[in-house]
Amino acid sequence: MDTTPAGDIRDKLIIGLDVPSVDEARRIVGRIGDAATFYKIGYQLAYAGGFDLARDLIADGKKVFLDLKLHDIGNTVEEGVRSVARLGATLLTVHAYPQTMRAAVAGKAGSPLKILAVTVLTSYDEQDLLEAGYAPGTKPADLVARRAGQARDLGVDGIVCAAPEAERVRAVVGPDRLIVTPGIRPAGADAGDQKRVVTPAEGIRLGADHLVVARPIVKAADPRAAAEAIVNDIAQAAA
């Protein structure tokens, strides 16, 4: 049962458990304690026992974002989403292709699970799109906006996009859908392999509902203090 107070500012921070083992993830969650309420489990951890961890986190009153980026034939996506809904996750990602999004919406029907469409990965820039076969000159922000519009029309609950595109996405999807932004780095932190990054405060000011932060917290000497500092930045920006 979720015991997080309604409107808890901590919900806006989603900590990415981008680590190789469940044991390491459990240690991090234990060190963070009540400084955080929401965790993301992606490929690396999901395929190393992370689904059992997700069940345990949910049982402990935490929220879980399964960042699985589903994309397959419609029936496979629909049944996969249905299984995730039974697990009790709060958020699930799928790639923003119309057939995939349509199937995901059908699969979550009758459950509180929210589907997020991944528009353009935050590690992609214009050159990456060119190499992937898109027309020369295709800009990530334009592709994000187009896919966000398709997601809105299909009834998807929210969009994953880089914070610099959040304002444009909000104009497309309206006020009632979620915007979740990865690529968040505290001021002075290494950007790593992310190419479109902003600070936590900037992400909130640009209109994000949730910020995904991984390495600056899970690799910190004091993960709890790192999480608390980011929540404080979010609170100040949201005030």
- Active-site amino acid positions: 69
Instruction: Determine contact, residues 230/186, Cβ cutoff 8 Å.
Output: yes
Among residues 77, 6, 1, 11, which one has the least CA distance to residue 38? 11
- 41 to each of 2, 90, 200, 238, how far by Cα in Å? 18, 12, 20, 26
Length of the chain: 239
Among residues 165, 166, 148, which one has the least CA distance to residue 157? 148
What are the structure tokens assigned to 171, written together? 């104009």
Instruction: Determine contact, residues 10/36, Cβ cutoff 8 Å.
Output: yes
What is the three-class DSSP state of 163? helix
DSSP labels, 51-79: HHHHHHHHHTT-EEEEEEEE-S-HHHHHH
What is the three-class DSSP state of 118? strand
Alpha helices by DSSP H, listed for 174-212, are: 200-205
